[in-house]
Amino acid sequence: MEIIHISAECYPAAKVGGLADVVGSLPKYQTLMGHQSTVIMPFYHGKFSRENEFSNIFSGVARLGHANFAFNVLKFQKNQLGYELYLFDIPGLFDRENVYSYKDDTERFITFQIAVLNWLKERKETPDVVHCHDQQTGFIPFLMSKVREYQRFEHVPTVFTIHNGQYQGQFGFEKLYYLPPFHSYYNGLIEWHNLINPLASAIKCAWKVTTVSPSYLDEISHSMNGMEDLLRTERGKSLGILNGIDADVWNPETDPMLEKNFNTKTFEEGKKANKEMLCTQFGLDPNKPLFTFIGRLVGEKGADILPGIIYDVLHYKPGEQNILILGSGEKHIEHALLHLEDQFKGNYCSYIGYNEKLSHLIYAGADFLLMPSRVEPCGLNQMYALRYGTIPVVRRTGGLRDTVTDIGDHGFGVCHDQCTISDVTHAIHRAKHICREKRTFKRIRKQIMEIDHSWNRAALEYIELYQSLKL
Ligand code: ADP
Ligand code: GLC
């Protein structure tokens, strides 16, 4: 079947977080299963667009309110991704370096969605399913089913995946004219709490709604920025499918970004070499347990409590462990993390910024990965950590609850219930016990590397879901 994924991010073309990893790998696994899985995304003017070649396969116009935007559909030339990638070049809106956080994001992503449907309309083929990801593509199910211009797609099944319900993309009705004309009795399908809300619209109009873990679906029915009622109403067509990981990209045996590759037989020497490399780079002692954090420095990830955790752990138990942080985000968190470096020199360091290579090295060289998330729809970091023999220390929430079992429950990780400094500090002290028991430590590291979190299972679950929608 022909599956079309539409997303704002896709690794390696543009990545802000896990959405890119998912959209960049699920289609590959679906293609390997014999389907034609394609990705459509905007063409940002970043490193990827500068360093690669594309062929222009279509030129058209997308109308946003009273303005017309010319667009080009570019096809990624290299056949290395395992699926076809189409990028929408929309001068004036997407010829910028970053993915989000511009004042006109509403205008940008509505135009993108209109351009995508304008192109799909011109093609001879009709897709078997259109799979949209997050609010930046949230109007597509509505446009396909209720707007005359796109009537051709009325019977094409749509699946919408909520990767992160915190971001809803809502705006006022004064911008209603941005959307192509439709009958006003459909206004309710784009509205939530008196605002136009693309996330709510997708939840209402998509044939199926998925979340990226089963626990997250349960949680958002009780707490999601005022959208709980809607999720409860639409629960019948919703399901949680736990994300997978790209086991080719995230493979410690072949990963070109590591200092030394390793597998389940050689992990002790392999992890040691990567840890030594990291510790040399950051002035830490490789003989101490290394606790790490990788991620966006935002409240959702519990990053605001990291400075407090670092202070408590290193002030009260100095010399027992090292801490290394990689991330970027809210400035006050970045400053607080940098500020602590002088005080705990030799035991703690942080790298503020985005660094793909360093992240791989940390997954490989760390002993533990901290994820104190307040909200975690799925979380990929813990799955990468597991594959690289690094023990996750996680808060029981969302996808973390679905992927990490506490060592006290015959599992392999360290879990805690609250996103608080004291809970995480306690979890860190429990984790150090594992480290001291050398045989247990070795057994767990081997065991976690053997867990299969690749996309094989989830890609099939999605295919079964699409097939259930065939008319
Ligand atoms: P989210 O999408 O909410 O940020 P995920 O756990 O799903 O969280 O995915 C985060 C992805 O982004 C992972 O691939 C992680 O390694 C990567 N990542 C996050 N912050 C950084 C950073 N500062 N440098 C490199 N990679 C990062
Ligand atoms: C979101 C979520 C994260 C999830 C990712 C991929 O960004 O915050 O938990 O892993 O999407 O689905």
What's the gap in Å between 58 CA and the centre of ligand 2? Answer: 32
- Name residue, tokens 């590397």: 449
Q: Which residues contact 200 (CB under 8 A, 6 or more apart)?
A: 138, 168, 170, 190, 191, 192, 227, 230
Strand 368-371 to 290-297 pairing: parallel
Other C-beta atoms lying within 10 Å of the C-beta of residue 208: 21
pLDDT at 342: 96
Identify the residue whose C-alpha is closest to ligand 2 atom 10.
379
DSSP codes of every residue in 167-189: ----B-GGGGGGSPP--GGGGGG
> How many helices (DSSP H) and strands (DSSP E) are in the chain?
17, 17
| CB 447 near ligand 1, within 6 Å | no
Question: How far apart are alpha carbons 67 and 445 in whole angstroms?
Answer: 57
pLDDT in tens, 258-291: 999 999 999 999 999 999 999 999 999 999 999 9
Q: What average pLDDT does range 131-153 have in this prediction?
A: 97
Answer whether 203's CB lies under 8 Å from 234's CB: yes
Q: How far is CA 228 from CA 235, 241, 301, in A?
A: 10, 19, 21
Tell me how far apart the alpha carbons of residues 424 and 430 are, in angstroms, rounded to a whole number.
10
Q: Whose CA is nearest to atom 9 of ligand 1?
A: 18
In this prediction, residue 10 carries a pLDDT of: 98
Tell me the CA–centroid distance for residue 214 and ligand 1, in Å. 21
Asked if 466 and 3 count as a contact pair (C-beta separation under 8 A), the reply is yes
Structure token digits, residue 224: 């999601």
Residue 363 has pLDDT above 90, yes or no: yes
% of the chain at pLDDT higher than 70: 100
169 Rama class: left (phi>0) / alpha (psi -120 to 50) / beta: left
Average confidence (pLDDT) over 199-218: 98
Distance in Å, CA 376 to ligand 2 centroid = 7
Residue 179 Cα to chain centre, angstroms: 28
Find out whether the beta carbon of 399 lies less than 6 Å from any atom of ligand 1.
Answer: no
Which residues, at least 6 apart from 25, have a Cβ–Cβ distance to it below 8 Å? 11, 244, 245, 246, 249, 455
Residue nearest to atom 8 of ligand 1 (CA): 18
From ligand 2's centre to the CA of 18, what distance in Å?
Answer: 5
* Domain boundaries for CATH 3.40.50.2000 within the chain: 2-244+456-468, 267-452
Q: Residue 79: pLDDT band by 50, 70, 90 thresholds?
A: confident
Q: Give the ligand at the shortest distance from the Cα of 353.
A: 1
CA–CA gap between residue 325 and residue 369 (Å, rounded): 10
Q: How far is the CA of 406 from the centre of ligand 2 (A)?
A: 22
CATH of domain 267-452: 3.40.50.2000
For ligand 1, mutation pick of 7, 162, 293, 296 (most atoms within 8 Å of CB)? 296
Say if ligand 1 is within 6 A of residue 380 CB: yes
282 and 357 Cβ atoms separated by less than 8 Å: no
Q: Which of 162, 164, 209, 455 is the best mutation target for the ligand 2 pocket, counting ligand atoms within 8 Å of the beta carbon and taking the most?
A: 164
CA 180 to centroid of ligand 1, rounded, Å: 35
Nearest atom within ligand 1 for CA of residue 296: 20
Question: What does the pLDDT read at residue 45?
Answer: 96
356 Cβ closer than 6 Å to some ligand 1 atom: yes
Please indicate whether residue 21, judged by its CB atom, sits closer than 6 Å to ligand 1: yes
The alpha carbon of 120 and the centre of ligand 1 are apart by a number of angstroms equal to 31
Write out the E strands in 367-409: 368-371, 391-395
Classify residue 388 as exposed, middle or buried by CB count within 10 Å of its CB (0-12, 13-18, 19+): buried
* CB of 16 shorter than 6 A to ligand 1: no
Predicted confidence band at 126 (pLDDT cuts at 50, 70, 90)? very high
Contact status, residue 196 vs residue 172, Cβ threshold 8 Å: yes
Total Cβ atoms within 10 A of residue 409? 9
**Which stretches of 185-330 are DSSP H helices?**
198-205, 214-220, 228-233, 267-282, 306-316
Q: 123 CA to middle of ligand 1, Å?
A: 35
Q: How far is CA 91 from CA 42, 119, 338, 396, in A?
A: 11, 16, 38, 44
Atom of ligand 1 nearest to the CA of 328: 23
CATH classification for the domain delimited by 2-244+456-468, as one of 3.40.50.2000, 1.10.10.1100, 3.30.70.580, 3.40.50.300: 3.40.50.2000
pLDDT in tens, 437-460: 999 999 999 999 999 999 999 999
- Please state the atom number of ligand 2 nearest to the C-alpha of residue 399: 9
Q: How many CB atoms lie within 10 A of CB 42?
A: 27
- Asked if residue 116 has pLDDT above 80, the reply is yes
Quickly state the pLDDT bin for 328 (edges 50, 70, 90): very high
pLDDT at residue 78 greater than cutoff 90: no
Which of 385, 321, 329 lies closest to 348 in space, CA to CA?
321
Mean confidence (pLDDT) of the chain: 97
Does any ligand 1 atom lie closer than 6 A to the CB of residue 296? yes
Q: Is the pLDDT of residue 99 over 90?
A: yes
Ligand number nearest CA of 355 is: 1
Q: Is 17 in the pocket of ligand 1 (CB under 6 A)?
A: yes
Kindly tell me if the per-residue pLDDT of 349 is higher than 80. yes
Of the listed ligands, the closest to the CA of 293 is: 1
| Mean pLDDT of the region 165-187 | 97
425: pLDDT strictly greater than 90? yes
Q: What pLDDT, in 10s, does the model give residues 192-203?
A: 999 999 999 999
Is residue 310 scored above 90 in pLDDT?
yes
Q: Which residues have CB under 8 Å from 21's CB, separation 6+? A: 11, 15, 245, 246, 380
Q: Separation of 454 CA from ligand 2 center, angstroms? A: 16
Q: With contact defined as beta carbons under 8 Å apart, do 289 and 382 qualify?
A: no
What's the CA-to-centroid distance between 31 and ligand 1, angstroms? Answer: 25
Q: What are the tens digits of pLDDT across the range 23-52?
A: 999 999 999 999 999 999 999 999 999 999
330 φψ region: left (φ > 0), alpha (ψ -120 to 50), beta (else):
beta
Which residues line ligand 2 at a C-beta cut-off of 6 Å? 17-19, 22, 163-164, 212, 243, 376-380, 399
